[in-house]
């Protein structure tokens, strides 16, 4: 097994492994002038260069800071078509929800995506995933949800599968918006046909639902999440984006991995998340792009919740192609400290995907890490509009 000793690291900066909540999100370990030994894709040892095992091949990192690879726990990176006309309408005052209610928005992405082949979808998604990885993402969740029908949903998930190993993808089946007619039958078919079929083909590890006035009710969401659990899948939710209609409380009750968005969450939803093991995933790109209120990141951490950050990369509400930018925006828009934002984008993002083998730099963790351009890790949350990440390593190998 090849061993590599990474040397000349100005600072190695990491949260502790596993989900971190409340004040513990600020507890980073910062080790100056250090070396790190990797073998078989896993971190084996971290310590002073002088104490390192001598027979490993050396990789000099040039005196820069090293942080864990970022984990993007929420993307819709597979879509066809564009939303450029929606964008122009929105900046002139037409609300996102009104565009959706008129049959545009998500429904227009569904028409374009439904007409695309798996190969088309793979070709469209690849440069987006490449951009996320260049920005520091070493694992990324990708959702379906733009399928016009079940076959189109399955094509989206097959496109994710084609790119899964190359980019470290975690696939989620998203039940996004109901058909305009026959929604009760649709929910039944999701529970009895789509979910079992996805499980049979191993196409997703979790099911997500958009719980919102313009999408699914709490009762419909409950039925879908129950079916997911019955078939052994994890659950997560898009909730409280525009209105807090009870999705967050339901997700906490059912033990969902995460609730994502939370822009409209109030004290009751914050308390429910703080009392649960469900991760609160905030998506500050949506605040920037739609001009929505920011999710209450500060209040969630103060209450003791575990907060994660994602890009929500999608054509309608968050055309954010950088996981590092999402981290940096969480500091500005949701009032996380830089340390909290690093924890939110690493171990807590891993927890939002049900993973505990990554997100921290410690013996036994996957050797997914970033060498920055700077000797000071704080350039990661500080930088806007340029890339502070110099090299991305997955399992100890530069990509």
- State the binding partner of 265 from Fe ion, ligand NIG, none, CB within 5 to 8 A by kind: none
136 lies in the site for ligand NIG, by CB under 6 A: no
d(CA 121, CA 161): 11
> Could you say which of 12, 106, 227, 353 contacts ligand NIG (CB under 6 A)?
106
d(CA 392, CA 372): 9
- Binding residues for ligand NIG restricted to 24-53, rule: CB under 6 A: none
Query: From the CB of residue 300, how many other CB atoms can be counted at a distance below 10 Å?
Result: 25
In terms of CB distance, is 167 or 210 closer to ligand NIG? 210
236 lies in the site for ligand NIG, by CB under 6 A: no
Q: For residue 231, say whether it is annotated as part of any ligand binding site.
A: no
Contact 311, 352 (CB under 8 A): no
d(CA 364, CA 42): 6
172 lies in the site for ligand NIG, by CB under 6 A: no
Q: Tell me the torsion sign for CA atoms 279, 66, 294, 92.
A: negative
| E strand segments, 15-143 | 29-39, 42-47, 57-68, 70-72, 137-143
- Binding residues for ligand NIG restricted to 293-312, rule: CB under 6 A: 312
The count of residues interacting with ligand NIG (CB under 6 A) is: 13
Closest to 345 (Cα-Cα) out of 263, 129, 337: 337
> Could you say which of 113, 172, 241, 248 contacts ligand NIG (CB under 6 A)?
241
> Could you say which of 14, 109, 281, 346 contacts ligand NIG (CB under 6 A)?
109
Q: For residue 317, say whether it is annotated as part of any ligand binding site.
A: yes
In terms of CB distance, is 241 or 276 closer to ligand NIG? 241
In terms of CB distance, is 206 or 303 closer to Fe ion? 206
Kind of pairing between the strands at 279-282 and 307-309: parallel
* Residue appearing with tokens 């990789």: 59
Q: What backbone phi and psi angles, to 5 degrees, belong to 352?
A: -65, -15
- State the binding partner of 348 from Fe ion, ligand NIG, none, CB within 5 to 8 A by kind: none
> CB 260 → ligand NIG: shortest distance, Å?
7
- Binding residues for Fe ion restricted to 364-383, rule: CB under 5 A: none
278 lies in the site for ligand NIG, by CB under 6 A: no
Q: Map residues 86-105 to x or -, x wherever contact with ligand NIG holds by CB under 6 A.
A: -------------------x
323 lies in the site for ligand NIG, by CB under 6 A: no
Q: Kindly indicate which of the ranges 43-51, 61-69, 194-202, 314-322 contains the residues binding ligand NIG, using the contact rule CB under 6 A.
A: 314-322
**Helix H or strand E segment including 250:** helix 247-254
Q: Map residues 199-228 to x or -, x wherever contact with ligand NIG holds by CB under 6 A.
A: -----------x------------------
Instruction: For 127-157, give the DSSP string.
Output: HHHHHHHHTTEEEEEEE----SSHHHHHHHH
265 lies in the site for ligand NIG, by CB under 6 A: no
d(CA 83, CA 105): 7
Contact 315, 83 (CB under 8 A): yes
- Binding residues for Fe ion restricted to 299-318, rule: CB under 5 A: 312
Q: How far is residue 55 from each of residues 4, 26, 37, 52, 58, measured CA to CA in Å?
A: 9, 36, 11, 9, 9
Q: For residue 314, say whether it is annotated as part of any ligand binding site.
A: yes
The count of residues interacting with Fe ion (CB under 5 A) is: 1
Q: For residue 243, say whether it is annotated as part of any ligand binding site.
A: no
141 lies in the site for Fe ion, by CB under 5 A: no
Q: Is 126 exposed, middle or buried (0-12, 13-18, 19+ CB in 10 A)?
A: middle
Q: For residue 146, say whether it is annotated as part of any ligand binding site.
A: yes
Contact 132, 313 (CB under 8 A): yes
Q: For residue 144, say whether it is annotated as part of any ligand binding site.
A: no
Binding-site residues from annotation for N-formimidoyl-L-glutamate: 146, 314, 316
Contacts with ligand NIG, residue ranges (CB under 6 A) = 76, 105-106, 109, 210, 238, 241, 286, 312, 314-317
Binding-site residues from annotation for 4-imidazolone-5-propanoate: 83, 146, 176, 241, 317
């Amino acid at each position: 097994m090849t061993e590599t000793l990474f040397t000349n690291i100005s600072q190695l900066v990491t949260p502790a492994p596993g989900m971190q909540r409340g004040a513990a999100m600020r507890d980073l370990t910062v080790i100056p002038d250090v070396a790190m030994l990797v073998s078989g894709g896993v971190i084996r040892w971290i310590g002073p260069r002088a104490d390192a095992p001598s027979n490993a091949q050396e990789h000099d990192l040039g005196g820069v800071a090293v942080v864990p690879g970022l984990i993007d726990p929420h993307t819709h990176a597979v879509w066809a078509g564009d939303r450029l006309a929606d964008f122009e309408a929105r900046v002139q005052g037409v609300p996102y929800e009104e565009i959706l209610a008129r049959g545009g928005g998500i429904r227009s992405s569904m028409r374009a995506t439904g007409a695309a082949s798996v190969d088309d979808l793979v070709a469209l998604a690849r440069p987006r995933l490449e951009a996320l990885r260049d920005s520091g993402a070493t694992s990324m969740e990708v959702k379906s949800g733009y399928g016009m029908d079940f076959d189109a949903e399955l094509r989206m998930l097959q496109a994710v599968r084609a790119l899964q190993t190359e980019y470290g993808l975690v696939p989620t089946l998203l039940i996004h918006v109901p058909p305009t007619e026959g929604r009760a039958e649709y929910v039944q078919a999701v529970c009895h046909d789509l979910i079992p079929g996805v499980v049979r083909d191993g196409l997703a590890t979790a099911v997500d639902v958009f719980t919102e006035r313009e999408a699914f009710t709490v009762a419909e969401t409950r039925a879908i999440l129950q079916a997911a659990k019955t078939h052994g899948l994890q659950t997560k939710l898009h909730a409280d984006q525009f209105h807090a209609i009870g999705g967050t409380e339901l997700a906490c009750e059912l033990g969902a991995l995460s609730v994502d968005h939370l822009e409209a969450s109030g004290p009751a939803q914050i308390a429910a998340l703080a009392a649960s093991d469900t991760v609160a995933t905030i998506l500050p790109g949506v605040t920037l792009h739609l001009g929505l209120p920011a999710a209450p990141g500060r209040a969630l951490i103060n209450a003791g919740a575990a907060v994660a950050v994602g890009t929500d990369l999608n054509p309608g509400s968050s055309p954010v192609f950088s996981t590092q930018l999402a981290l940096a925006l969480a500091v500005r828009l949701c009032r996380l400290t830089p340390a909290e934002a690093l924890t939110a984008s690493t171990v807590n993002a891993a927890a939002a995907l049900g993973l505990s083998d990554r997100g921290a730099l410690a013996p036994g963790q996957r050797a997914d890490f970033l060498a920055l351009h700077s000797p000071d890790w704080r350039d990661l949350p500080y930088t806007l509009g340029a890339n502070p990440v110099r090299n991305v390593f997955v399992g100890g190998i530069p990509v």
